[in-house]
Structure 1
């Protein structure tokens, strides 16, 4: 634990699980004008800009909610109270809501956040508003029922953690026999299943203020996030203005109204079924992967900055940023991304950037001799590419060209020799 002098302004506690550039909260919070404390792991603590931080609590496990509660209590004592609590990782949103409730802190509380973390709750809420959702059920309900009589059990089905993220733990189940094999391997109360809907998958990302879109972009996936977890590339292309784009934005706004999200960022996924749009799921947070980079690099809009500034009650700064984002929302520039999954158990040697693809403006590779440990997610992957152009077709063509022409070298991971 480290403690420095405190400052005037709001007393803010940040839950930080990141140890990279995402931990640079000093970009968003004026540490001279506010008293700012952090709760984080030792690696997360090392990533902070230590100047003008009022207090730091280090935890070996930020998922230990009892220890986290004690750490926030220590921050409260050090700051003389807490006015705002900020958490940006999807895995921390519900925990942060419970902490706000326990410590009487302004902001989103559990009954709000659960609609954006528990996939059965969010689907119930959207369906109650008369919007299409896949047929679904908590897995424990399916286990206790006559599954043959349940419409949701028409195969294939998707089984996923109710509060999961980044497709971790998501499975497609094609047969009853495979489902029967799965039962004993899962904590049923933590999972749900839903019917598989055939059709293109879209995502809509943006920011809401008082229930209205400040900025939003609708995109279509190339492959799906589940396929990415299974080893296939994942791409995304922003849609051109037109009827499809407008319909997706309209459907998204209806879903967000049903869920009573009025302020903050969102990442919403939609399936284009044969009979119309289906709500898939939503997060009340900034989209993962390349999405925040695209908004920043194409439109000058830092969604994290908007989110933190709004949460920390910096009204003057937020109003200026929101106005700039609204103006940027009219831009005709389109973008997209491509992510190549990690080849688990391999070592990265080198890569050659494809030439002659004007829309490709950024490529990120691992360092030489990087080992892919197969942990999953979007952080430790083979390559990521970002694109900027004038149209949806230009971006899609650039992604296809990258997939054709990208070359890289991998090596086998050699076990260390045993000492004689």
Structure 2
């Protein structure tokens, strides 16, 4: 775990905070945190420290970084946005950290210097003239030719970049730039303007990074622009549908330009047009691309540009990412005829389209809509994925037609839909509920813990109430009643964690909210009641009995023999679960547990399968079974755990039929579920073990989203709120996914010194999550904080299983016991 400074993060820089935290780094954010530089709380809450200062005062930023570095050294200083590339570079140089040179930073920040450097290397680019005085403008326009482009030399986001068809229009554009005042983010711009040749042709950007002196291209992005004379970007498609020849030409042009500008390390975002003379440079930035392009890149190819950026600035060379052949796009909505809008209306077909991954508003209902001319005037967006660019474009086009922004009448206030109370105990990306639920349409309040508060967006939430412990029913009930008294009747109560299902039911009954009550939830939480209902439906369950004393446990053993299982009636994550094989082991277990609500259960010999899926309106929408390599109990006691999607069609059909019977028996009609069954040795019958009315844990949620295109957390929200949606099928015959989790060391707490990366060593491995050097594994990580997690994809279960077995053999971790403090 290292300390990383990020200077004034904007756009993708905010996601960089989140990703750095996920990777285990301690993030220090330097920000003015006001006006255009205000950062959403959900991002800042993920930082280890936030330092508020005037980030437009370069010397103040460098001085503060020197002081902070002396107190606790940084490993990297990273610019959070294009305007802060030079100060971050200067600070990194002062502190002796990896970074780009001042010369490169100047060329990559100021477009007139960039043009001069590119010209020095003989690279073709648009004709251009630098203008500092209005009197020079007419001659400059004649030298470049009409139409031309007039742009500031040091702004971003297409701000004040205009196509001019006449000298008069060029003069108006020049005056607009000079009259802009302090400029974007409060930074005073240089009094210089570029007049450039207008290049007719499609526009692209090239996304990549420089590591060890080599410029690596990850993708070419096709850009969509709004109506001229502006150049506002309204969409992106990754990767661009270019033939091999033009693509290779674009990539090499970008690499040559990056080399000419002397970029030493870190990400680059090169924008160009493909004209009659071939690729021609618009500009290059030494930063993460904006407009969600890093997210599109990850969805389409698997490349994590956030992590690559951090690795570059930390001076950590690594293998090139293995890119997969997917496609993703984003479309932004402009409505120049509106100055405000009342509500965003999404057509049901768009909401149900499985290709659509995310829909959101950028300007809240009732808020002023800025005039056209920059990206600030975009009202909302949609993200879609697909197997081919045509499929993505079709989904985005349909969304463009199916999403409307209703005008705001002078007397009309923006309306809202549902009023939702969310119980949250997660402190990771799964708690980013704004990704699943439009907080500008629905009112959303939260009951959470101090740790769970971090990912929540305080700027969008109606209210965030922090309680000491969600298990404290009295405190939580009082807080819920107070919120309802203050903000009005709730229409829904959501609790997505296994541990909050009963609490959610109790609050629905307390607040008079429709939905599952205590008795409904008991069917999926109390394993004795659960198994009784399933058995009554004629499905095979293990012989089981509730026990409250040691005598009852021993009586079960005497009646049914060894081995047998002793487990809590309402537990999770294999906590306090014992497989007892001898009387001596039984005595040891009884000495460790308090038998307040336990059960004894027949031990089933056979393979354990996990079955995940979505049921809506009582109909299975998507389902897939997974054969476990090991068990959750074995993992908790120190054995690697793997899981492989089943590709036995005959057995899958039996699983589907069995699952439908279980769902009906337990009255599960609108849920994401995680079912566990045994495929019994000898008889091959399916035996029910247990079910959770929630998304599976561990790596289940990741592989479902990354390989099968189903976000199980989003689906949990959607089905519980009655939002109709079509979900991609995970049927037999397609790609097979799998995962592996490595257990924590046998001696805990332990400090991690090194975990060997397996990226590139196993073709089927598509991503890994490794604890960083310095991480402490304390035995409480469960399936979340492991000693390494690996995710695989291949054409068959056999190949995935072989890859998992290879990963177990190749896995290496250096660690040592954590010495007690003060010793």
Q: Same fold, TM exceeding 0.5?
A: yes
The aligned counterpart of 2:465 is 57
SS at match of 1:342: coil
The counterpart of 1:161, out of the listed 555, 564, 568, is 568
Q: 1:128 Cα shift?
A: 1.1
The aligned counterpart of 2:664 is 257
Q: 1:381 to 1:114 in 2, by over 3 A?
A: same
Name whichever of 344-353 and 393-402 sits farther off. Answer: 344-353
SS at match of 2:677: strand
SS at match of 1:15: strand
Does residue 400 (structure 1) correspond to residue 805 (structure 2)? The answer is: yes
Contact 1:168 1:376 in 2 (8 A): no
The aligned counterpart of 1:323 is 726
Q: 1:148 to 1:107 in 2, by over 3 A?
A: closer
The aligned counterpart of 2:779 is 374
The counterpart of 1:339, out of the listed 741, 757, 772, is 741
The aligned counterpart of 2:474 is 66
Contact 2:755 2:772 in 1 (8 A): no
* Superimposed CA distance per residue, residues 167-196 of structure 1 (whole angstroms, 9 cap, x where no aligned partner): 011111112243244435433231111011
SS at match of 1:160: strand
Q: TM-score, normalised by structure 1?
A: 0.92
Q: 1:124 to 1:150 in 2, by over 3 A?
A: farther
The aligned counterpart of 2:495 is 87
Relative CO higher for 1 or 2, CA cutoff 8 Å, sep ≥ 6?
A: 1
CA–CA distance in structure 2, aligned partners of residues 185 and 393 of structure 1: 40
Contact 1:229 1:376 in 2 (8 A): no
* Superimposed CA distance per residue, residues 203-244 of structure 1 (whole angstroms, 9 cap, x where no aligned partner): 110001222211111110001111111100000000114212
Does residue 40 (structure 1) correspond to residue 455 (structure 2)? The answer is: no
* Superimposed CA distance per residue, residues 369-397 of structure 1 (whole angstroms, 9 cap, x where no aligned partner): 11111125211210101111111111111
Q: 1:141 Cα shift?
A: 7.0
The aligned counterpart of 1:131 is 539
CA–CA distance in structure 2, aligned partners of residues 149 and 230 of structure 1: 23
Query: Structure 2 unaligned runs (5+)?
Result: 1-40, 42-413
SS at match of 2:499: helix
Does residue 9 (structure 1) correspond to residue 392 (structure 2)? The answer is: no
Equivalent runs, 1:87-106 vs 2, <5 Å: 87-106=495-514
The aligned counterpart of 2:712 is 303
The counterpart of 1:312, out of the listed 711, 721, 745, is 721
Q: 1:350 Cα shift?
A: 1.5
CA–CA distance in structure 1, aligned partners of residues 790 and 553 of structure 2: 46
Q: 1:148 to 1:246 in 2, by over 3 A?
A: closer
Contact 1:204 1:249 in 2 (8 A): no
The counterpart of 1:348, out of the listed 749, 752, 770, is 752
The aligned counterpart of 1:117 is 525
Does residue 414 (structure 1) correspond to residue 819 (structure 2)? The answer is: yes
**Number of residue-to-residue matches in the alignment:** 407
Does residue 223 (structure 1) correspond to residue 621 (structure 2)? The answer is: no
CA–CA distance in structure 1, aligned partners of residues 551 and 751 of structure 2: 42
Q: 1:398 Cα shift?
A: 0.7
Contact 2:670 2:720 in 1 (8 A): no
CA–CA distance in structure 1, aligned partners of residues 619 and 441 of structure 2: 30
The counterpart of 2:603, out of the listed 184, 196, 206, is 196
Q: 1:54 to 1:347 in 2, by over 3 A?
A: same
Contact 1:131 1:279 in 2 (8 A): yes
Contact 2:557 2:564 in 1 (8 A): no
Q: 1:8 Cα shift?
A: 2.1
Query: Structure 1 unaligned runs (5+)?
Result: none
Equivalent runs, 1:140-179 vs 2, <5 Å: 140=548, 143-144=551-552, 147=555, 151-152=559-560, 154-179=561-586
Contact 2:735 2:794 in 1 (8 A): yes
Q: 1:359 to 1:129 in 2, by over 3 A?
A: same
* Superimposed CA distance per residue, residues 233-282 of structure 1 (whole angstroms, 9 cap, x where no aligned partner): 00000011421222222222222222121111111111111321110111
Q: 1:150 to 1:114 in 2, by over 3 A?
A: farther
* Superimposed CA distance per residue, residues 65-122 of structure 1 (whole angstroms, 9 cap, x where no aligned partner): 1111011112212221110011110001011111111111121111111111111111
Name whichever of 160-169 and 74-83 sits farther off. Answer: 74-83
CA–CA distance in structure 2, aligned partners of residues 42 and 180 of structure 1: 40
The aligned counterpart of 1:390 is 795
SS at match of 1:325: coil
Q: 1:357 Cα shift?
A: 1.3
The counterpart of 1:362, out of the listed 749, 767, 770, is 767
Name whichever of 27-36 and 176-185 sits farther off. Answer: 176-185
SS at match of 2:805: helix
The aligned counterpart of 1:24 is 432
SS at match of 1:45: coil
Name whichever of 368-377 and 293-302 sits farther off. Answer: 368-377
Contact 1:267 1:287 in 2 (8 A): yes
Q: 1:20 Cα shift?
A: 1.5
Q: 1:367 Cα shift?
A: 2.3
Contact 1:13 1:38 in 2 (8 A): yes
Q: 1:417 to 1:75 in 2, by over 3 A?
A: same
Q: 1:192 to 1:363 in 2, by over 3 A?
A: same
The aligned counterpart of 1:210 is 617
Q: 1:145 to 1:304 in 2, by over 3 A?
A: closer
